[in-house]
A = this chain, B = another copy of it.
Amino acid sequence: MNDIDTDTLKGIANQLRIHSIEATTAAASGHPTSCCSSADLVAALFFGHMRYDPKNPHYYNNDRFILSKGHAAPLLYAAWAENGFIPMAELLKLRQLDSDLEGHPTPRLAFADVATGSLGQGLSVGVGMALCARLDNLDYRTYVLMGDGECSEGSVWEAAALAGHNQLNNLIALVDVNRLGQSEPTPLGHNLDAYKRRFEGFGWRTEEIDGHDLDEIIEVLAAVGLGHQPLVILAKTLKGAGISFVQDKEGWHGRALTKEEAEKAIAELKPSAKSGIGHPIAAPTSLPAPKNEAPSAYPPVNYKLGDKVATREAFGNALARIGDADQRVVALDGDTKNSTYSEKFFKKFPNRFTECFIAEQNMVGVATGFAARGKVPFASTFATFFSRAFDQVRVAGISTANVKLCGSHVGVSIGEDGPSQMGLEDLAMMRAVVGSTVLYPSDAVSTEKLMDQMAGQKGIFFLRTSRPKTAVLYNNDEQFPIGGAKVLRQASGDKVTVVAAGVTLYEALKAADLLKSEGIGITVIDAYSVKPLAKDVIQGAAQKTNNLILTVEDHYAEGGLGDAVAGELSASGAKVHKLAVRELPHSGKPEELMAKYGIDANAIIQKVKSLG
C-alpha cells in the first residue's frame, strides 16, 4: 500500500464519479452508473496500490490494468486525467470524433493495451499478460476489472480455468458486482457467495468485500500475490453509487444524466471530492527489460522440389525454425498441436508454448495479451474452430494486435471427418477482420516464407493450411511478398485465367495439363495472398485471357477467394466465374468430395470448356 489515506482515496473516487458524469452528460450518451459502481475500486488501484509510471503507460514493468467492462471508459479516462497523463479538459470531449476518448477504450490511447467493450474478454488478455510476465521474469501484476454481467460469458471461465491451472498468482480479477445488467438484474444478483464458489471451483483464491469501502479495498489489495493461486476480489457495489436518486435502481444502464440531473448528482458528490492529488503511487521495480527485438533475418528453408509435404506440417517446421531466431515468438494451441503441427515448436521450446486446451476464445485472448507485451504469438487450431473465437479476433483487430493465427484442416479435402471439422467459412471470417492479412499457401516453401513475414510484420495475420500432403512447387530461394501472386502457367492464346490456392492450385495445374492436350490453354495463378490480393498480377493476366477469370477454392462460395477476386476486379471489367463448395458437404474421401462439390481438375476442365 502507498502513503495515501483512505479518506483521500474516497475523495478521489468521488472526483472520478464527477468526471464520469460530466463527460457522459456532455456527450449525451454513455454509462455513468457503470462508472460509479467501480469508482472506489479504480481510485484504490490507481492512486493507492498499483506500481506504475503514470508518465509512461507502456513501461515494461508497470502493473497492467485492463478495463474488461469497457463501457466504464469515462472512469478510466478520469483516472488517467487525475494522475496527470491526459489534460482534464480533454475529458469533456468524450465520444467526439476528434478525441481518442471513445465510447469504449481502444489502444489509440497509450494506456489501453487492448480494446475492450465486447464483454468477457479482458480476463483472457490478462492471463496472456500474466503468463508473459512470468516468461520475462518481470514482477508486474495484471489487474482486470470486470462487470458482474459479463461473468455470464463462457470466455471468462475459459480464462479462469487456464489461470487456475497455471497458478497465476500475478493475476488479479476484480468483479464489480453491482447487481444490475442492461435489461434486468444479473442472474446472481448480489450473491457474492455464488461467484466465490464458481471462482474457487476454477482454482482461484477469493475475497469478498464491500466495493465502496476503501479500507476494505486497500486491505485486500495489500494481500495481492500471496499464495499460488490467482486472486479474484468480489466487490459488492451499487450501480450509480454515490448518486442518491439513481443508485441501485433499474433502468439506468447506458443512460447519461440530463444536465439538471448531473448538477444534482455533482452537488451530492462535490463536498467530499478531491481533485489534483496527482499520483502518489509506488514505482515499478527495476528489472532487466525483456528481449523483444526482431531478428535481422530468419534461417533459410530446405525442401526438395516435388517432395510431398502438407502445408500444416510446413507451418510447424516454420514455427520451430523461426523460434530459434526470434525470442519474441510464442505459440499457443487448443489441444490440436499434433494435428496443426505446432507441437514441433512445443517440443523445442516448451516454456514458450501455452497449451490452452479446448477453449479457442481464451486462446485468442491470451495471444492478444502476449502481443500487447511485445511478443509475437502464433495461435493454432483447426481453421473452422477459429469461428469459436471470431469476436476475440474481431476485437484483436480493433486493438491492432500483433496476433498470428494459423488454421489447419480446411475444406472438403479433409475428407472423412465431415462438415463439422471442415474450414469452409474461415476466409470470409478472416477477410472481414479490419486490418487483417489473409494468407493461403499451397506448398511448403511458400508456407515457410509467408511465416517469416508473419513473424516480422505487425498486425493480425491468418495462415490457412491444408491437411493433404502436396508437392513442393517452389525453389527454396523463391520470394513470396505479401500482396503478391505467382503466375505458374501462362501462354499466349490462353482462354481463361484460373486463380486458385491450396489444394485447388494442384487441381488447376492438373487441369492445365489435361486441357493442353486438348489444345486449350489456361493461365494458372497461385493466389497465396488472399488479402491483400495481388490485384495487378491477376488483372494483368486476365487482360490476356479476354478478361475471363475462373476462381477455384475449397471454401464456401461466399466471402472467400472468389468473392475477393470479384470484389476487387469486377470494377475493371473482369468477368469472374467461381468454383466453390455450394452445399453442405458430406463425409467421404478427399478426392471424392472435391469431385462431388465441383472443385477438382475435372470441374475446372468442364467449366473452362463451357466459358466464352
A587 at the interface (CB under 8 A from B): yes
- Is A115 an interface position by the 8 A CB rule? yes
A15 within 8 A of B: no
- Residues of A404-419 whose CB lies within 8 A of B: 415-419
Interface magnitude class on chain A: 35 or more
Q: Which of B96, B562, B593 contacts A588 (CB 8 A)?
A: B96
Asked if residues A420 and B398 are in contact (CB atoms below 8 Å), the reply is: yes
A425 contacts partner chain B, Cβ-Cβ < 8 Å: yes
Look across to chain B and name the residue whose beta carbon is closest to the beta carbon of A560: B432
Q: Give the residues in chain B near A432, CB-CB below 8 Å.
A: 424-425, 428-429, 556, 558-560
Say whether B149 contacts A158, CB under 8 Å.
Answer: no
Q: How far is the CB of A434 from chain B (nearest CB, A)?
A: 5
**Residue A609 lies at the interface, judged by CB distance under 8 Å to chain B:** no
Chain B min CB distance to A218 (Å): 28
From the candidates B118, B186, B201, name the one contacting A385 in the complex (CB within 8 A).
Answer: B118
- B394-A357 in contact (CB<8A): no
Partner of A181, one of B335, B418, B420: B335
Decide: B586 and A576 in contact? CB cutoff 8 A: no
Chain B residues near A357 (CB, 8 Å)?
149, 152, 181, 186-187
CB distance from A204 to the nearest CB of B (A): 11
Give chain B residues whose Cβ lies under 8 Å from the Cβ of A398: 419-420, 584
- A117: shortest Cβ distance to chain B, in Å? 3
Q: Which of B117, B397, B560 contacts A418 (CB 8 A)?
A: B117
Q: A418: which B residues are within 8 A, CB to CB?
A: 95, 102-104, 106, 117
Taking a contact as CB atoms under 8 Å apart, the answer to whether A431 and B434 are in contact is no
Q: Are B182 and A339 in contact (CB under 8 A)?
A: yes
Decide if A583 is an interface residue (CB 8 Å cutoff): yes
Selected contact of A358 from candidates B149, B384, B567, CB within 8 Å: B149
Taking a contact as CB atoms under 8 Å apart, the answer to whether A153 and B158 are in contact is yes
- Comparing A192-200, A232-240, A274-282, the segment that makes contact with chain B is A192-200
Q: What is the bound-complex CA distance between A152 and B567, given in angstroms? A: 39
Which residues from B are CB-within-8-Å of A544? none
Inter-chain contact B358/A152, CB cutoff 8 Å: yes
Q: How far is the CB of A411 from chain B (nearest CB, A)?
A: 13
Cβ of A481 within 8 Å of any chain B Cβ, yes or no, is no
User: How far is B184's CA from A343's CA once the two chains are assembled, in angstroms?
Assistant: 11
Cross-interface CB contact of A576 among B157, B429, B567, cutoff 8 Å: B567
Show the binding face of A for B, using Cβ within 8 Å.
Answer: 27, 29-30, 70, 95-97, 102-104, 106, 115-120, 149-150, 152-158, 161-162, 165, 181-184, 186-187, 194, 197-198, 200-202, 333, 335-339, 343, 355, 357-359, 361-362, 384-385, 387-388, 390-391, 394-395, 397-398, 400, 415-421, 424-425, 428-429, 431-435, 531, 556-560, 562-564, 566-567, 569-578, 583-584, 586-589, 592-593, 596
Could you name 5 residue pairs across A and B whose Cβ atoms are closer than 8 Å? A157-B157, A183-B338, A198-B202, A397-B584, A398-B584
Given contacts A118-B384, A385-B391, 6 further A-B contacts (CB under 8 A): A149-B358, A150-B358, A182-B335, A387-B391, A398-B419, A566-B566
